[in-house]
């Protein structure tokens, strides 16, 4: 389809449940303050674990938007999903009574799904003698990753495209990318897109500890997530959810919607190299960013800010920095690059959506969020990482990177909205 006939797609609403704030405004304020979500684990007794801290969502009350009966039948990841969705819908101002619900979809993913549900049901099975009738009839509906999208559709009566994406840490960036393509194709006029995760549980922490992926800075949880810093020793597990309301520009304009930013390009690739390590030099990330720029019709010099994947792991931060150098050349020296994971921890399947929200808010407010806990420069990471405090600057266009186990790479390109 000729580019001038492809619908423009805009962001009209956002909702976030994060370790540093349970609303769009709280999340933004937390980033502006450089607040860390890292703290000792409270969800279970982690005394015997190598890592005893995480970035948990705090002061969260699902009953603000979900009935008590529904809460009992929804895993925590689905509760985060519903809360983020309700906030995003309210933020968008969309009235579904005046909208063709067959033209509204939900694409919402989770990297792992209902891990807490599996934990509790497995305990029921073995602690009660292995009798299978102790398994809840809600076990499977609470466990499966796609159920969050189903719950959201049921709540609002949305009958358009509806499914989940699953691609590890790239999950919700793929959700947003799929929504973007569906809207461009004319399969819908509005899509709620995002992701959620809730795996701060014994098997979640234990599993990532076994991989040696998590920081073990137990004496200082609030400074453990330190992307691009030479002393980084692994990522900090986070949890939460993020939702964006995407619409065709025509639909948004017709209803007088407030527009945060325009999503103008996506890049999706795979490393085909290793199940957990990035390809040397960030080769797959290079192609992902270049494809996003090409799709957006932008030049590298048009980009002012990159919300980096920036996990605080030795391999990722080095390879992503090298990839940015390769794509942007000399312009890399004028870019602002930050990892909001330094504050939120790594939200796994929710990371892409929450970081996309950070990116569109950065464009809207002309402020690049900081990378906190940066103290010791790494010669392999030599960009402007917006160290330890936000930077006020015009942001005409920005990229949001997410890379997942399995070699999955996703880059989203957003730009300031102009009619």
CA-wise closest residue to 18 among 10, 9, 28, 7: 28
**333 Cβ neighbours under 8 A, 6+ residues apart:** 383, 384
Residue 336 banded pLDDT, cuts 50, 70, 90: very high
The pLDDT tens digits of the residues spanning 341-370 come to 999 999 999 999 999 999 999 999 999 999
Q: What is the pLDDT of residue 255?
A: 97
| pLDDT reading at 2 higher than 60 | no
Which residues are part of the catalytic machinery? 169, 309, 346
For the chain, give the percent of residues with pLDDT over 70. Answer: 99
Rounded CA gap, 197 and 194, in Å? 11
Task: Report pLDDT digits (tens) over 164-180.
Answer: 999 999 999 999 999 99
**Which positions ≥6 away from 97 have C-beta within 8 Å?**
none
The pLDDT value given to residue 130: 77
Q: Any residues with CB less than 8 A from the CB of 238 and at least 6 apart, and which?
A: 18, 19, 37, 54, 55, 56, 197, 200, 341, 344, 345, 346, 347, 348, 350, 351
Q: What is the phi/psi pair of residue 170, to 5°?
A: -90, 0
> Nearest 5°: phi and psi at 282?
65, 40
Read off the pLDDT of residues 254-263 as tens digits, 9 standing for 90 and up.
999 999 999 9
Q: Kind of pairing, strands 408-415 and 397-404? A: antiparallel
Count of beta carbons in the 10 Å neighbourhood of residue 280 = 13
67-99 confidence digits (pLDDT tens): 999 999 999 999 999 999 999 999 999 999 999
CA–CA gap between residue 121 and residue 129 (Å, rounded):
13
pLDDT value for 127: 85
The count of other CB atoms within 10 Å of the CB of residue 268 is 21
Rounded to 5°, the CA angle 326-328-332 comes to 105
pTM for the model stands at: 0.97
What is the mean pLDDT of the segment spanning 372-401?
98
Question: Is the Cα dihedral 167, 303, 258, 309 positive or negative?
Answer: positive
């Amino acid at each position: 389809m000729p580019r001038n006939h492809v619908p423009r797609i805009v962001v009209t609403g956002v909702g976030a449940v994060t370790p540093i704030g349970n609303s769009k405004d709280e999340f933004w304020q937390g980033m502006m303050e450089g607040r860390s979500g890292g703290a000792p684990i409270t969800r279970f007794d982690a005394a015997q674990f190598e890592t005893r801290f995480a970035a948990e969502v705090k002061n969260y009350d699902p009953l603000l938007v979900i009935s008590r009966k529904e809460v009992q039948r929804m895993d925590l990841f689905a509760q985060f999903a519903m809360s983020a969705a309700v906030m995003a819908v309210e933020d968008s101002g969309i009235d579904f009574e005046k909208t063709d619900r067959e033209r509204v979809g939900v694409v919402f993913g989770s990297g792992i799904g209902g891990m807490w549900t599996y934990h509790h049901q497995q305990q029921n099975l073995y602690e009660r003698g292995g009798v299978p009738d102790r398994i809840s009839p809600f076990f499977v509906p609470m466990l499966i990753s796609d159920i969050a999208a189903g719950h959201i559709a049921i709540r609002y009566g949305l009958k358009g495209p509806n499914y989940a994406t699953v691609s590890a840490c790239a999950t919700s960036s793929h959700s947003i990318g799929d929504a973007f393509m569906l809207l461009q194709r004319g399969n819908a006029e509005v899509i709620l897109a995002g992701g959620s995760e809730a795996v701060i549980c014994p098997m979640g922490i234990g599993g990532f500890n076994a991989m040696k992926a998590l920081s073990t800075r137990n004496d200082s949880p609030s400074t453990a997530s330190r992307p691009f810093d030479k002393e980084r020793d692994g990522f900090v597990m986070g949890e939460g959810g993020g939702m964006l309301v995407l619409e065709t520009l025509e639909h948004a304009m017709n209803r007088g919607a407030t527009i945060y930013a325009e999503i103008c390009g996506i890049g999706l690739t795979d490393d085909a190299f290793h199940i957990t390590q990035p390809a040397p030099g960030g080769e797959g990330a290079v192609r992902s960013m270049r494809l996003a720029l090409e799709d957006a019709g932008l030049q590298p010099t048009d980009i002012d800010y990159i919300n980096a994947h920036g996990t605080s792991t030795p391999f990722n931060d080095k390879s992503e920095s090298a990839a940015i150098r390769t794509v942007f050349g000399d312009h890399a020296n004028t870019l602002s690059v930050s990892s909001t994971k330094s504050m939120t921890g790594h939200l796994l399947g929710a990371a892409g959506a929450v970081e996309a929200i950070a990116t569109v808010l950065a464009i809207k407010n002309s402020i690049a969020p900081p990378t906190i806990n940066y103290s010791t420069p790494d010669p392999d990471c030599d960009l402007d990482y917006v160290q330890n405090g936000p930077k006020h600057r015009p942001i005409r266009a920005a990229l949001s990177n997410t890379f997942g186990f399995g070699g999955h790479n996703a880059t989203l390109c957003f730009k300031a909205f102009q009619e």
